[in-house]
Structures are given as structure tokens and as C-alpha cells.
Chain A
């Protein structure tokens, strides 16, 4: 295709956008809304996945011992623990050490610790166990539980399960919402392009009369949809970028222990999807109208 032809297409497409007026704006905005929703869902899902992974990779579990554990049994116990397959390392932590650590973590002025100091150390002796592979967490936990004088085994499986369920839920509900919005914006674009086609029906008739090929007639309308998609994706990305950067700073200040991904890492991925989504919606809307209203 010749450059002069492309210039013609672009000029015609731009004319279509302009003559659409408010409807063109509506088309671009509909795409913005759909894509912004997509961005929110993606950012949430990606972060939750990241969180799950972080938690999953904490390979530690703790076996809390019975309150009246007799420390003369310590060596015997540790031998049993270390004999469990996939146990990489095991450390005996006395209740005094446990309290000390808690104090270090929470600071010495903690109300909680003051209360604990008054009523005596509430912690039992414990064994910290590190597993060599997260897949065997459940197996190791079960084995630990069978050892005499182990009262309770705590590890992150419940948290992982809950996070996974939350991620799946957000993904499913979010995607359903995104699909609904996408359908709405597809129809909006289709309607706008349809009006452009209607406004130009005379011109189209003349084009056909003088021997324009169908693809020549279609291109400006496809480009019009493409422009809607591009503008929509750009705006949605700007919103996602600004919003997420702001949120990351806030989370960093208020909830520093929550692992969030940096904006650059997430948004580069999101940007690709938004662009693809925008172009698909815009061009798709055009195609719907072209098929129905441009019998060439």
C-alpha cells in the first residue's frame, strides 16, 4: 500500500472521529472504563499471586510442645524430628528464647508483653523446622504431629489456601465484570462507527461506483476504531499508573509488612494487555459495524 493511501486513510479516520463528536468521546471513554477495570483486576491478581508466593516460600513451620515438656527428652526429640524426610534443619527454641524474640520484634514497650510479663511467660518450648521443598510441608507437619509431646504444628498452609482462594475469586469475578464492560464498549464503538458509515453512505456509494476495492473502503473505519482503542488504552494506562503508584506509596507507609510489587514491574505487564485489549475492542467494534452496515 502506498504512503499516500495511508495518509488518506488516516485523514478519513480522523474525520470520522471528529464528526462523531460526543459519541466518539463515549466510545473512547467506554474503552477506558473497561480497560481500567481490567487493569485493577490484573494488578490485584498479580499482587495476590506475589503474596501467595512469598508466603509459600517461607518454608518454616513450628512444632509447639506440651507445656510441661521435660527438657531431658530434648535430644531424643530432636533426633526424631530430624529423621523425618525433607526436614532440612531443626532448632530447639526454649520458651525463654521465644519470649526474647517476641520482645525484639515488637519492641520493649509493647502492651502485650507487659501483660505477658505479669502473668508469666505464656510461650511453650518449640522446635522450628525448615523444610527443603514447600510441597512437602503438609507431609512433614503430619509427621511432626505424631511425635509424642508435640502439642500443635503451625505453618502457613491455611494462609496460602486463603490467599489462593481470594486470588481465584477476584480473578473470576473481575474477569466476568471486565467481559461485561468489554461487550458494552464494543457495542458503543460499533454504534459510533455505524453512524460514521451512515454519514458517509453517499461517499461510500460513489467509491463503489468508481471502482474502490472493499478493503480500501473499509480501512478508514477500521482505523477509526483503532484510534478509539489506542486513546482508550492510553488513558486507562495513565489512570492505572497514577492510581497504583499512589497506592503503593500508601501501603508502604501504612502496612509495611504487606509485600506489594513495584509499579514498574506490574504496569509494564498491564500496559501490554491494555494496548492489546484496547485495539481489540476498537477494531472489533468497527468490524461488527462494517459487517452489518457496509455491504460492500
Chain B
């Protein structure tokens, strides 16, 4: 599903984000990416949905070498990858419905299909009845649930989460973690970057630990590695 071969990413000037990373993530796996800020977690994720391309090495996602996909085909890769962020990245002056329907709209799904799918994913994240609320009026946890609904509405094969609980209190974080686990159980491959030790330790999944752009630990089931 996801394979990185000798991947390095160097930002100018000379800031190494990833260095010779080799890793394989199989279909249906749940992987935590851990490490200190600047260890390369976000870069790792950005390479997967081709927000960035590697300086060297190969990133293979869903059987495609993503650096070699022509620009016009990148959208079709992204339709198979859901992404959520720490800051939700919602259209805050639009309604919950509009936000969740957005991927369906831009991929030109017929209105009937949109009307069927949006309530289904809103139910999955427990936000039925919030359709007409503006996204910006919701609490952080609710906004992240909207973001999750949006990320899965196209039934992606892969869900990427970049510190999805970073802005949330423990109780809310737990709801989000449970939802992501639920999405994983329904068949998606999940890669989640996080600082949250207790979520990692509770879910007991594979943990890839990054330090200064290198993989220093890769265990299943893993535990959170605290930096000295």
C-alpha cells in the first residue's frame, strides 16, 4: 500500500527533514508516526499525498511512484487518500454539510449521491443534526469530526492524520482517536502522526519513531518512545 525506498527530503538551505527512510506499510495497517517536533513526521505524510516530492528515493503509494505522477493525475491520487490536520482546515464560514459535501462536489458526484453520502458519514462521526451549523461555530472536537467526515466521504483507501488531537483536551482527543480506530476497522489503512503518548499506548498498534529525519524504532505493537 505504502512503500518508501531510500527516501530523503532536504529543504533549502540544508535542513534535512528525512534521511534515507525505508519502510513498508501494508494494506489495512494502522501506523503511528512519533517523534519530537521537526523529526520529520509531517514531511513523511506530505510525501504520501504528494504535497511534496522527495529529494531522492522513491515514494510508492497505491502502486504508483508519486514523484513521477504527472501533475494532472495528482488529483486522482488524492481522491484515494483522506487527510486530517491539527488545525482541521475547514471552510469555517460554510456549513457542516457544505464542508463534508465539498470533496463530492469537486469530484463531480451527482446531487443524489451527495444527499445520500453526507448524512451517512455525519452519522459515522456522530454529527447528525449539525448539517446547518457553520463549521467555525463548532468546538474544536466537533470541527475535527467534521474534518474526519470530509476525509472519509470519498471512501479513501488511506487515511493520513497529522496530529489530529494536538489542539484538543484529553476527553475530546479520545473521541477522535476512537473515530479514527473505527475508520481503520472499516478497512482503511491509517497513518497518524501524534505527540500523544497515551493514545499510542492505548491503541497498541505499529509505531514508527523518527528522530532527526531517520527511523530509529519500528515496532508492532509499539509503545510511545519518550525523547530524553
Give me the interface of A with B, judged by CB distance under 8 Å.
Answer: 1-2, 4-5, 8, 202-203, 205-214, 216
Q: Point out which of B76, B91, B106, B154 has the most chain A C-beta atoms below 10 A from its C-beta.
A: B106
Number of interface residues of B (CB under 8 A): 22
Residues of A within 8 A of B78 (CB): 208-211
Bound-complex Cα distance A206 to B146 (A): 14
What is the CB-to-nearest-CB distance from A192 to chain B, in angstroms, rounded to a whole number? 21
Q: For residue A200, which residue of chain B has the nearest CB?
A: B91
B103: which A residues are within 8 A, CB to CB?
210-211
Q: Which of B75, B76, B110 contacts A4 (CB 8 A)?
A: B110
CB distance from B74 to the nearest CB of A (A): 8
> 8 pairs across A/B with beta carbons < 8 Å?
A205-B89, A210-B103, A211-B75, A211-B154, A212-B107, A213-B75, A214-B72, A216-B106
Which residues of chain B are near A212, meaning CB under 8 Å? 75, 106-107
Contact A211-B106, Cβ < 8 Å, known A205-B89, A206-B91: yes
Instruction: Indicate if the CB atoms of A2 and B75 lie closer than 8 Å.
Output: no
| Residue from the list B72, B102, B106, B110 in contact with A2, Cβ < 8 A | B110
CA distance A1 to B106 in the complex (A): 12
**CA distance in complex: A9, B65 (Å):** 33
- Tell me whether B108 is interfacial, beta carbon within 8 Å: yes
Q: Are B111 and A211 in contact (CB under 8 A)?
A: no
The smallest C-beta distance from A13 to any residue of chain B, in angstroms, reads 15
Residue of B whose beta carbon sits closest to that of A213: B75
CB contacts under 8 Å to A, within B138-183, are 150, 154
Q: Tell me the nearest residue of chain A to B92, going by C-beta.
A: A202
Contacts of A8 in B (CB 8 A): 105
Cross-chain contact B111 with A4 (CB below 8 angstroms): yes
Other than A213-B72, A213-B75, give 4 A-B pairs with Cβ distance below 8 A.
A211-B75, A211-B77, A211-B78, A212-B107
CA distance A216 to B106 in the complex (A): 7
Cα A202 to Cα B108 in complex, Å, equals 20
Tell me, rounded to whole Å, the shortest Cβ–Cβ distance linking A18 to chain B. Answer: 14
Q: Would A1 and B91 count as touching, CB distance under 8 A?
A: no
Q: Give the docked Cα–Cα distance between A50 and B111 (Å).
A: 57
Q: Return the 10 tightest CB-CB contacts between A and B, nearest first.
A: A211-B79, A212-B106, A210-B103, A211-B78, A211-B75, A213-B75, A4-B111, A5-B108, A207-B106, A216-B106
Residue contact B83 to A209, C-beta cutoff 8 Å:
yes
Task: Collect the chain A residues with CB atoms within 8 Å of residue B89's CB.
Answer: 202, 205-206, 209
In the bound complex, how far is the Cα of B104 from the Cα of A4, in angstroms? 12
**Do A210 and B102 touch across chains, with their CB atoms under 8 A apart?**
yes
Question: How near does chain A come to B224, taking the closest CB pair, in angstroms?
Answer: 28
Within 8 A of A (CB), among B56-91: 71-72, 75-79, 83, 89-91
**Structural contact, B150 and A202, CB atoms closer than 8 A:** no
- Chain B: minimal CB distance from A25 (Å): 24
**Which residues of chain B come closer than 8 Å to A209, judged between CB atoms?**
49, 78, 83, 89
Contact partners of B76 in chain A: CB under 8 A: 211
Q: Determine the residue in chain B with the shortest Cβ distance to A206.
A: B89
Residue from A2, A207, A209 having most chain B Cβ neighbours under 10 A: A209
A216 neighbours in B (Cβ, 8 Å): 106, 108
Q: How many Å from the CB of A75 to the closest CB on chain B?
A: 88
Nearest CB in chain B to that of A296: its residue: B71
A208 to B90, CA, bound (A): 13
Q: Which of B71, B106, B110 contacts A210 (CB 8 A)?
A: B106
**Complex Cα–Cα for A213 and B71 (A):** 10
- Bound-state Cα–Cα, A120 to B215, Å: 118
What is the minimal beta-carbon distance from B147 to any residue of chain A, in angstroms?
10
Name the A residues within 8 Å of B79 (CB-CB): 210-211
CA distance A8 to B105 in the complex (A): 8
Once bound together, how far apart are the Cα atoms of A180 and B42, in whole Å? Answer: 49
Residues of B within 8 A of A203 (CB): 91
In Å, the complex CA distance between A2 and B78 comes to 21
Which single residue of chain A is at the shortest CB-CB distance from B91? A203
Q: How far is the CA of A163 from the CA of B149 in the complex (A)?
A: 73
Kindly list chain A residues whose C-beta atoms are within 8 Å of the C-beta of B83.
209
Q: How far is the CA of A212 from the CA of B103 in the complex (A)?
A: 8
Which residues of A are found within 8 Å of B105, using beta-carbon distances? 8
- Bound together, the chains give a CA A231 to CA B90 distance in angstroms of 34
B residues in contact with A213, CB < 8 Å = 72, 75
Among A1, A210, A214, the residue within 8 A (CB) of B154 is: A210
Which of B49, B71, B102, B107 lies in contact with A206, CB distance below 8 A? B102
How far is the CB of B96 from the nearest CB of chain A, in Å? 14
For A209, the closest partner residue in chain B by CB is B83
A167 CB, min distance to chain B CBs, angstroms: 49
Per the 8 Å Cβ criterion, residues 81-126 of B in contact with A are 83, 89-91, 102-103, 105-108, 110-111
B66 to chain A, nearest CB (A): 14
